[in-house]
Amino acid sequence: MILDRKHELERKLFRQFAETEFTKELQDRLDETGEFDWDMHRKMARYGFMGVRIPREFGGAGGDYLSYALMIEEFARMDAALSIYANTSNSLGGGPLMMAGTQEQKEKYLPPIASGEKIMVFALTEPGAGSDAGGTTTTAVEDGDCFVLNGRKTFVSGAPMADWCLVFAKTDPTARGSRGISMFVVDLHLPGVSLGASEKKMGINGYPTCDVVMEDVRVPKDCLVGPLHKGFSIAMKTLDGGRLGMAAQAVGIAQSCLDESVAYAKERKQFGQPIGNFQGISFMIAEMATEIEAARQLVYHAAELKDAGKDATMACSMAKFYAAEAANRCAYKAVQIHGGYGYSRDYKVERLYRDARITSIYEGTSQIQEVVIAGQLLKKTGGR
Amino acid sequence: MKIFVTVKQVPDTTGKVSVKADGTLDRASMETVTNPDDLNAVEAALQLKEQTGARVITVTMGPMQAESMLRELYAMGVDEAVLVSGREFGGSDTYATSQIIAAAIDTLGLEEGDIILSGRQAIDGDTAQVGPQIAEKLHLPQVSYAAEITMKDNRLTVKRMLEDGYMMVQVKTPCLITCVKELNEPRYMSVQGIEDCFDKEIRILAYDDLKDHPLIDKTTIGLAGSPTNIYKSFTPPQRSAGRMLSGSTADMAAETARILAEKHLI
């Protein structure tokens, strides 16, 4: 795809911002401490990054999925954790509200998350319901003008900093599997809500993740988002967009692996010459570059489909599947090219290797993407 | 109140500099950027806009390609962009350029209370002449090398950055101020700004729009009307690496003296 002038200029902005602001010192600090950087959050908010995809009337920049994917890619190219800072509000946090919220809900929740004043996160996974999201055991029971929520959500990215959380809970205990699930906005300051300790993660440190525990949390009825018992389909549709973002993140990480490898292959000398002169190294670089470009085009194509309002479920899963696997292969090769130095924290590829690993796991594992792709193909006649 | 900001699209000197056979810069083959000091002037204007509600108008002279720079300035938050462009203006030196830009600003309407902000100098020519010459042509007070600008009523207090210290100057509007990089940190474009910038109008001022202005005289604009002409431009040869001497201090001093004498420097 050849970008139009607007998207080209947006890419320029995202790249300029990330290259200038995501300093090595900041990247190292986030990786070392795992703590959220509020200053960077506010700075990103100031330039409209939190609301790239949120409509103008709700305080966003009114951009499209392609703008969003370009932002995540360029940010992740510098730092994977920082690419998530501006991600949530545009995807799993803001997405369900943009898709299924009432006018009042949009007016209430979208402007503060677009401005970065508030953070909304997404809680679907449970200790016993990961890829099998239909196995949700969190319950919401109607009681007067409220729903009473009980349950535990796990791996809730951003929960330690969040004000609100989109929670999926079973509202019809008689319905099986993914039926009878509804979505609620839960104010994390309500009585009965508690947070677990931040997870000690392998990578993407600097964007904390923890459990959200709800014990008899009384949530007003107007916090129900979308129709009662129909929350699961909204979750799945939101995950299309989320997967697109995470695919873009994987492309950014993979690109960074390539950038580092090319620079190192030119500079590192063995046997009296730069290691890039050896086919063993140069072929790895050629393979990385080709896979990255293929992944990038899948991402942009999926974004284009979504922006055109077409069914993009399979395209998003393909992009996420391929880009995540490519990022892992690129990270492996980048460390290999760096040899012993690649195993040292002094070199960026060591972190890229850890950061890449999550991309084939979260927002649907690679295997779940394959299930989605195959399911789409096999349910249609003729396979196309 | 209006704030005019003069800006220039220049070759990105952090990239490759290429020179044509006739000695002039091969601008077409080089990446372009907004002149860095001009971005400080834009930032200063946007800050004054936030303080006073002034309207910020950027003015540039150049070929039609300068449009892309003006879009970026819209994305930063300026209110209006004007491109002064015409074959008659091509090849102008600083004297001719300042005359044309002064005429353009005057045509756009310079009023009481207005301010003109310029970058100190452009990285392609490094003359620092255009800003001050615009002020002269328009008979405005000027303060150069501004490292700090504060505004109260219609008075500006400017901290000038000079080689050996600072100078505080108070000036009444309308006036012209040239800005140095120490003045501020230019903001980035905003996403919303980019979403909108391609729908905004770029006002073009061509020769015909300015030809009746008293400052515009065909004999003093363009390449033919420019008092200075480029004889030759070239990339200076790279300096060779230095040489480190070793040994006792006396030996090194003697060796230094010998080398300098050999080169007829002492």
Closest CA to A259 of A202, A331, A205: A331
A13/B198 touch (CB, cutoff 8 Å), yes or no: no
Structure token digits, residue B113: 């209370």
- pLDDT for A236: 85
B191/A9 touch (CB, cutoff 8 Å), yes or no: no
Q: Compute the count of residue pairs across chains A and B with CB atoms less than 8 Å apart.
A: 44
A10/B190 touch (CB, cutoff 8 Å), yes or no: no
Q: How far is B195 from chain A (nearest CA, A)?
A: 7
pLDDT in tens, B6-44: 999 988 877 777 777 766 667 777 888 999 999 999 999
- A17 interfacial to chain B (CB closer than 8 Å): yes
A13/B71 touch (CB, cutoff 8 Å), yes or no: no
- Indicate the range of A11-25, A63-77, B104-118, B209-223 predicted with least confidence: B209-223
- A10 interfacial to chain B (CB closer than 8 Å): yes
Structure token digits, residue A170: 């079973």
For the segment A217-221, the average pLDDT, to the nearest whole number, is: 96
B71/A67 touch (CB, cutoff 8 Å), yes or no: no
pLDDT in tens, A222-257: 999 999 999 988 888 888 889 999 999 999 999 999
B188/A17 touch (CB, cutoff 8 Å), yes or no: yes
Residue from B194, B197, B202 to probe the interface with A (highest A Cβ count within 10 Å) = B194
Cite the active site residues of A. Answer: 363
- Per the CB < 8 A criterion, the answer to whether A100 and A225 are in contact is yes
pLDDT in tens, A296-322: 999 999 999 999 999 999 999 999 999
- Per the CB < 8 A criterion, the answer to whether B6 and B117 are in contact is yes
Residue A180 vs residues A136, A168, A188, A234: alpha-carbon distances, Å: 10, 10, 23, 12
Collapsing DSSP to helix, strand or coil, A272 comes out as coil
Structure token digits, residue A209: 């993740």
Mean residue pLDDT of chain A comes to: 95
Structure token digits, residue A221: 């009825």
In which band, very low, low, confident or very high, does the pLDDT at B149 lie, cut at 50, 70 and 90? very high
* CATH match of B2-210 with 3.40.50.620: yes
In which band, very low, low, confident or very high, does the pLDDT at A131 lie, cut at 50, 70 and 90? confident
Residues of chain A with C-beta less than 8 angstroms from the C-beta of B195: 6, 61-63, 67
Q: Please report, in angstroms and rounded to a whole number, the separation of the first and last CA atoms in chain B.
A: 61
Residues A322 and A301: their CA atoms lie apart, in Å, by: 13
Which percentage of chain A shows pLDDT scores above 90? 91
Residues A96 and A241: their CA atoms lie apart, in Å, by: 10
Residue from A8, A13, A52 to probe the interface with B (highest B Cβ count within 10 Å) = A13
Task: At B146, give phi and psi (nearest 5°).
Answer: -75, 125
Q: Which A residues, 66 through 105, put their C-beta within 8 Å of a C-beta on chain B?
A: 67, 71
Residues B12 and B15: their CA atoms lie apart, in Å, by: 6
- Per the CB < 8 A criterion, the answer to whether A303 and A68 are in contact is yes
pTM of the model: 0.90
- A6 interfacial to chain B (CB closer than 8 Å): yes
Letter string b/e over residues A258-268, b meaning 16 or more CB atoms within 10 A of that residue's CB: bebbbebbeeb
- pLDDT for A67: 97
Q: Please report, in angstroms and rounded to a whole number, the separation of the first and last CA atoms in chain A.
A: 22
> ipTM of this model?
0.90
Closest CA to A242 of A372, A139, A126, A329: A372
Alpha helices in chain A, H assignment, sequence order = 5-21, 24-33, 38-46, 65-78, 80-85, 95-100, 103-114, 231-267, 279-307, 313-338, 348-359, 366-379
Task: Decide if pLDDT at B219 tops 90.
Answer: no
Residues A63 and B22: their CA atoms lie apart, in Å, by: 46
Residues B95 and B222: their CA atoms lie apart, in Å, by: 10
For the segment A110-121, the average pLDDT, to the nearest whole number, is: 96
H-run or E-run covering B98: helix B94-108
Q: Are strands B55-61 and B2-7 parallel, antiparallel or unpaired?
A: parallel
- pLDDT for B22: 66
Nearest CA in chain A to B198: A6
Residue A281 vs residues A264, A337, A341, B128: alpha-carbon distances, Å: 11, 6, 15, 50
Residues A213 and A192: their CA atoms lie apart, in Å, by: 8
Question: Using CB atoms, which residue from A5, A16, A47 is nearest to B191?
Answer: A47
DSSP structure class, residue A15: H
